């Protein structure tokens, strides 16, 4: 065992982490700020669903705008910043040398977060676009593309300059997320904002972008974190690792084809929906292999990092199964265009993505600051708030959606009656969202404390030399 | 976990170094199947699962693709059903379309033909006169000299248009009726329309035969 000090760090806390400290903490701080903003807006949104008169006199605070602001703050504020921070960090570590050109990340992050702030103002004043996952006003979109390109420069450099020629699964997913997002983002900008497609093609493009942003960007970001941390923390190699590559390519090739599932029952050619449904079912192969590969997360042995990742993984697998089930037209007849669709996207975003990234943050921040988190109870508090809030939010939304879908198919139930039937469940969902906001607020406070302690009360932590991994014989 | 001590959530330790993590997984990929003492069931199971999913996907696509037709919105609907009601076709519109594609090369857009080579349709006694003769000319063609508006033509032959042996066009009776109607009501002509039934009757009566000559046609009413 070696004792760590700020002058001579041990092998486990290396120059790789130290050099990336400020840029990555900047990304994480911005991410958590947006997460809390988005959570507060989501709470307002859910309350507006059951009490439509709430803040209805203020144009900025009307449901359509707050919903768009909430989603934008979550996707482009929280998910982008946090996902990139985690992925840049792990690409640096697996690349074997300190991240280079981090100034690009800092500059990019400044412009990116300014753009997100500008987007929220733009949406509030009525400039937002009307596409799910792409509510950003048209004038912000090109700037965000450039900022994103600048932010990922160190990641791409770490990947091309890696010490070991062989790539590990976490690196596949990380690099795929880094390079595929500009493709779908620029494609969507072109086809939705600057040379908009007409008619149903526009809805198809929006569906493709929304699904692509999940399957080719956010899901790979979270999977990169999980594929790195499960063996890293658990200390055991990934079982059936030789299938991971098949699973990866299944996601990359089939993932964005599932976009048409959002249009089941819509006025689009039948084959586009059929192909999307088939793609959802084919994607089950990806989920099965991910479940087999990462099952080590469920044997977390008291590790909070792995507990978070296990919850995220559970949500991811459940979400994949749910997508496949609701892609059947017989099920979609009830579920499509209801709160259940919202529950599904929440399962993916606040469930699979956020919980996995929380786990990564709890592992990463002590290595970036070089010292332990200030408080164990804040971590436990956040964990239970996240667990409870996610379960209540998604469960209540799913029940509300199912009731709503059954009622909508019954011509004798009036619209007012449907609203009355779903109202109690929406209030429960709002309670879940409130718990989530509190929990995420705890993490934000904790991160601020961790950064403050780093400079005010330096107490370098001990990072013992990590053991050597044995190859399992599975 | 090999560590017997409780984990401090404030500072979780790594279970493996990055180098050994990369090396261990690289080694797993390079491992040959016979390196294992025991037989691995999982690859076979996954192969079956994936094959099953692909089989299902192919079957589902085959049933509900709507033949990949952009106008089919009901996945259970047979192709072509999606179009809905069809409006009756105006023979003058269809006739002009066909005339402009084919007839126009010889008889010209004006219907005046080319003096000395291709006879005119405007004011022609063949066009405005006997319907029996006119339909036969288009159905089976016309060869040899023909006198139109007092001028002798013979350099070119009228091709075979009908759905008969030796035809280069295989136009349906309906198509022939519409083009004849167009010719009889354009270029200053104003004669009665030709119905598809008229063409079909003559088609059935004459069946397959070689091109008509002027003399044969003049013997008809």
- List per-block mean pLDDT (blocks of 10 residues) for chain B, which spans 221 residues: 64 88 86 58 87 93 85 72 62 87 87 87 88 88 87 84 83 89 89 89 85 86 81
- Contact check, Cβ <8 Å, B18/A169: no
Give the torsion sign (CA, A115, A116, A122, A126): positive
Of A370 and A35, the one with more pLDDT: A35
- Contact check, Cβ <8 Å, A12/B17: yes
Tell me if the domain spanning B91-218 has CATH number 1.10.260.40.
Answer: no
Q: What is the pLDDT of residue B38?
A: 57
Taking CB atoms and an 8 Å cutoff, what residues of chain B touch A469?
15-17, 20-21, 23-24
What is the pLDDT averaged over residues A214-218?
Answer: 96
ipTM of the complex: 0.86
State the number of CA atoms in the 13 A half-sphere of A110 facing the CB. Answer: 7
CA distances from A433 to A386, A394, A436 (A): 10, 9, 5
- Contact check, Cβ <8 Å, A463/B13: yes
Q: What is the pLDDT of residue A256?
A: 87
Q: Which residues contact A350 (CB under 8 A, 6 or more apart)?
A: A390, A393, A394, A436
Of A400 and B75, the one with more pLDDT: A400
Residue A321 has pLDDT above 90, yes or no: yes
Q: What is the pLDDT of residue A12?
A: 59
- Contact check, Cβ <8 Å, A302/B36: no
| Tens-place pLDDT, residues A241-273 | 989 999 999 999 999 899 988 888 888 898 999
- Please, where in chain B does CATH 1.10.760.10 lie? 91-218
Task: Give the pairing type, strands B151-153 and B146-148.
Answer: antiparallel
Report the chain B residue with the minimal C-alpha distance to residue A11.
B17
Alpha carbon distance A98, A136 (integer Å): 34
What is the pLDDT averaged over residues A132-161?
Answer: 95
Residue A291 has pLDDT above 60, yes or no: yes
Residue A11 has pLDDT above 80, yes or no: no
Q: What is the pLDDT of residue A5?
A: 36
Mean pLDDT of chain A: 92
Under DSSP, the state recorded for B148 is E
Report the residue of A166, A469, A474 to disrupt the B interface, i.e. the one with the largest count of B CBs within 10 Å: A469
Q: How many Å lie between the alpha carbon of A189 and the closest alpha carbon of chain B?
A: 25
Cβ burial of B104 (10 Å; 0-12, 13-18, 19+) is middle
What is the pLDDT averaged over residues A15-34?
Answer: 92
| Percent of chain A as helix, strand, coil, to the nearest 5 | 75, 0, 25
Of B112 and A283, the one with more pLDDT: A283
Of A233 and B87, the one with more pLDDT: A233
Q: What is the pLDDT of residue A6?
A: 37
What is the pLDDT averaged over residues A225-240?
Answer: 93
């Amino acid at each position: 065992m070696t004792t760590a000090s700020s002058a001579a760090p041990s092998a486990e806390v290396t120059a790789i982490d130290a050099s990336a400290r400020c840029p990555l903490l900047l990304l994480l701080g911005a991410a958590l700020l947006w997460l809390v903003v988005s959570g507060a807006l989501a709470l307002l949104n859910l309350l507006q669903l059951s009490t439509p008169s709430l803040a209805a006199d203020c144009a900025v605070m009307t449901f359509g705008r707050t919903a768009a602001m909430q989603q934008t703050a979550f996707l482009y504020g929280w998910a982008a910043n946090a996902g990139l921070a985690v992925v840049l960090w792990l690409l640096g570590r697996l690349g074997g040398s300190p991240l280079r050109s981090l100034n690009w990340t800092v500059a990019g992050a400044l412009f990116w977060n300014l753009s997100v702030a500008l987007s929220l103002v733009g949406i509030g004043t009525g400039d937002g676009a009307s596409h799910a996952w792409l509510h950003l006003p048209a004038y912000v979109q090109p700037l965000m593309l450039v900022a994103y390109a600048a932010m990922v420069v160190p990641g791409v450099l770490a990947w091309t300059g890696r010490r070991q020629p062989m790539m590990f699964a976490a690196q596949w997913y990380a690099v795929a997320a880094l390079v595929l997002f500009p493709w779908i983002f620029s494609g969507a900008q072109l086809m939705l904002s600057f040379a908009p497609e007409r008619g149903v093609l526009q809805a198809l493009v929006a569906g493709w972008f929304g699904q692509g942003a999940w399957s080719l960007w956010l899901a790979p970001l979270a999977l990169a974190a999980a594929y790195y941390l499960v063996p890293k923390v658990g200390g055991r190699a990934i079982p059936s690792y030789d299938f991971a590559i098949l699973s990866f390519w299944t996601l990359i090739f089939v993932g964005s084809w599932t976009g048409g599932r959002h249009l089941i029952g819509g006025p689009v050619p039948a084959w586009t929906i059929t192909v999307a449904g088939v793609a959802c079912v084919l994607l089950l192969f990806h989920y099965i292999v991910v479940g087999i590969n990462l099952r080590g997360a469920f044997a977390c042995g008291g590790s909070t990092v792995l507990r978070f990742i296990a919850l995220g993984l559970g949500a991811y697998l459940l979400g994949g199964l749910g997508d496949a089930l609701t892609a059947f037209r017989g099920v979609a007849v009830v579920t499509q265009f209801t709160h259940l669709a919202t529950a599904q996207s929440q399962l993916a975003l606040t469930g699979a993505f956020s919980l996995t990234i929380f786990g990564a943050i709890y592992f990463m921040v002590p290595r970036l600051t070089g010292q332990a988190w200030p408080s164990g109870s804040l971590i436990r508090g956040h964990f239970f708030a996240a667990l409870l809030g996610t379960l209540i939010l998604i469960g209540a939304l799913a029940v509300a959606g199912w009731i709503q879908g059954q009622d909508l198919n019954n011509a004798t139930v009036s619209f007012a009656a449907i609203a009355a039937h779903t109202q109690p469940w929406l209030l429960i969902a709002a309670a879940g969202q409130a718990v989530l906001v509190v929990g995420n607020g705890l993490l934000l406070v904790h991160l601020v404390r961790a950064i403050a302690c780093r400079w005010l009360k330096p107490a370098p932590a001990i990072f013992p030399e990590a053991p050597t991994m044995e190859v399992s014989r599975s | 976990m090999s560590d017997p001590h409780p984990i401090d959530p404030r500072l979780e330790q790594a279970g493996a170094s990055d180098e050994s993590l990369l090396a261990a997984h690289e080694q797993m990929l390079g491992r040959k199947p016979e390196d294992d003492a025991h037989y691995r069931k999982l690859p076979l199971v996954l192969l079956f699962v994936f094959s099953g999913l692909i089989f299902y996907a192919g079957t589902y696509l085959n049933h509900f693709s709507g033949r990949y037709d952009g106008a089919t919105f009901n996945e259970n609907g047979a192709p072509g059903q999606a179009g809905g009601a069809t409006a009756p076709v105006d023979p003058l519109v269809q006739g002009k379309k066909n005339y402009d594609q084919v007839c126009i090369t010889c008889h010209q857009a004006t219907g005046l033909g080319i003096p000395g080579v291709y006879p005119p349709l405007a004011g022609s006694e063949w066009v405005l006169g006997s319907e029996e003769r006119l339909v036969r000319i288009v159905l089976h063609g016309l060869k040899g000299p023909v006198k139109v508006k007092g001028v002798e033509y013979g350099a070119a032959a009228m091709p075979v248009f009908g759905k008969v042996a030796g035809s280069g066009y295989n136009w349906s009776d309906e198509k022939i009726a519409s083009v004849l109607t167009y010719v009889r009501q354009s270029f200053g002509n104003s004669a009665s329309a030709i119905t598809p039934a008229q063409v079909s009757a003559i088609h059935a009566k004459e069946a397959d035969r070689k091109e008509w000559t002027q003399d044969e046609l003049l013997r008809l009413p």
